[in-house]
Amino acid sequence: MSDFDKYTTPLSSRYASQEMSAIFSLRNRFSTWRKLWLNLAIAEKELGLSVISSDAIEEMSKHLTITDDEIAKATAQEAIVRHDVMAHVHTFGESCPSAAGIIHLGATSCFVTDNADLIFLRDAYDIIIPKLVNVIDRLSKFAMEYKDLPVLGWTHFQPAQLTTLGKRVTLWIQELLWDLRNFVRARNDIGLRGVKGTTGTQASFLALFHGDHDKVEALDKRVTELLGFDTVYPVTGQTYSRKIDIDVLAPLASFAATAHKMATDIRLLANLKEIEEPFEKSQIGSSAMAYKRNPMRCERVCSLARHLGSLFSDAVQTASVQWFERTLDDSAIRRISLPSAFLTADILLSTLLNISSGLVVYPKVIERRIKSELPFMATENIIMAMVEKNASRQDVHEQIRVLSHQAAAVVKEQGGDNDLIQRIQADEFFKPIWGELDDLLEPSTFVGRAPQQVEKFVNNDVKNALQPFKQYINDTEVKLNV
């Protein structure tokens, strides 16, 4: 059977980066199990277990990366024994005959499966955190570039007071900064299950060390150190608490909401023809409508963000139904949801990097839209200017009201342009301010402190947040697979 005759997840076959796919690959999983067995043996030998020889340690060290043939052997063995960990214990032992008798000594399956998962979760965060840093950095540069460009604001997707394009982008960035904070917290909170035995009591290791509690505690600590962790969970059942998976996936689900909101904004702006995502020279927008420039990258973000958000419920429900020291109904779903969550987050960040590196802005379209709405927004300024010329506010308000309704009818009923200003210029009542109308309609006077807010936010909040990650910031172009 060809690979083309089998289902493969698009997360790995179509979208995700090679580095993220490698973390959750079978080779990395089984090689990590071997690394765990090696470090357990090293720690046990250091603490006085004479049954573990130097030859065994050396032999195990030479076979840490599992080969294709060894994976095939282990797969065949699993079909016989119906136990994946024991199949790999046998296969590793065949490659390391000096260590065959001491591999997995005192351990339960969760020593390798759970500790490996925690390593994968930590390493996966180490891939996506730098990508998020670069998305924030690129959007911050974009925000500064367009901090002064007035745009029509929207509330309820109805025209509202003006803002600037840069200020709008800071709303995306602020949420991404919170996501970065959450990513780092979650990553640094991940500990190791450590060496706990079958129900978490360490009974097997206490037997190995003939009742020496201090050595069992030292073993737990030493294995944790050898694997590069600062923290080991002080108590566990057979597994580490599945509540940890909730803490790990919650920031990813929250980020999914940020990504969806940002991509949706860009999709709406693309419809308004104010902003477009990158569109390659030979890209086809539609198989039928050749003129189309569909926002397919942002649509992909929205699609996958919904998937990522839904995976959080897997962790919540799984943690809720764990019985006593453990039950096995967590196994299959975690094999799916944990890799899927990080593969999806990785795809979203790679796509956002691509989008944020090539956003196209159309200032003339933005200017035209402002001009179509600004006359209505400027009415208060016009009233104030007329009052300064000794007109009655109530009289001016009534004149503006009548002309505004006439102009609105032209727009809504006749499909014409907003001609309120032309009506004001033709009405002798407003003659005292005719010469001031251009100044009263200057868009930059309607954006408040938006430019100053952008500058302060980027130069202070963003700069301080990214300072610990400055070594990750780069301008590498991100190409999408499809």
Q: Which residues are catalytic?
A: 156, 286
Cβ proximity of 450 and 163 under 8 Å = yes
Cβ proximity of 183 and 129 under 8 Å = yes
Q: Is the dihedral of CA 442, 448, 452, 455 positive or negative?
A: negative
Alpha-carbon distance 479 to 482, whole Å? Answer: 9
Write out the DSSP string of 58-116.
Answer: HHHHTT-S--HHHHHHHHHHHHHHS-HHHHHHHHHHHH-TTTTTTTTTT--HHHHHHHH
Q: What is the DSSP letter of 429?
A: G
Angle of helix 379-388 relative to helix 363-377, nearest 10 degrees, comes to 50
Task: Tell me the CA distances in angstroms from 209 to 47, 204, 212, 216, 477, one per residue in order.
Answer: 9, 9, 5, 7, 55
Backbone angles phi, psi at 158, to 5 degrees: -115, 145
Alpha-carbon distance 333 to 229, whole Å? Answer: 26
Residues of the chain by 3-state class (helix, strand, coil), percent to 5: 70, 5, 30
Alpha-carbon distance 392 to 386, whole Å? Answer: 8
Alpha-carbon distance 447 to 147, whole Å? Answer: 10
Task: Tell me the CA distances in angstroms from 247 to 179, 250, 254, 305, 313, one per residue in order.
Answer: 13, 5, 11, 18, 12
CA 12 to chain CA mean position, Å:
17
The rounded radius of gyration (Å) of the Cα atoms in the chain is 31
Closest-CA residue to 154 (of 136, 140, 171): 171
- Total number of residues shown for the chain: 482
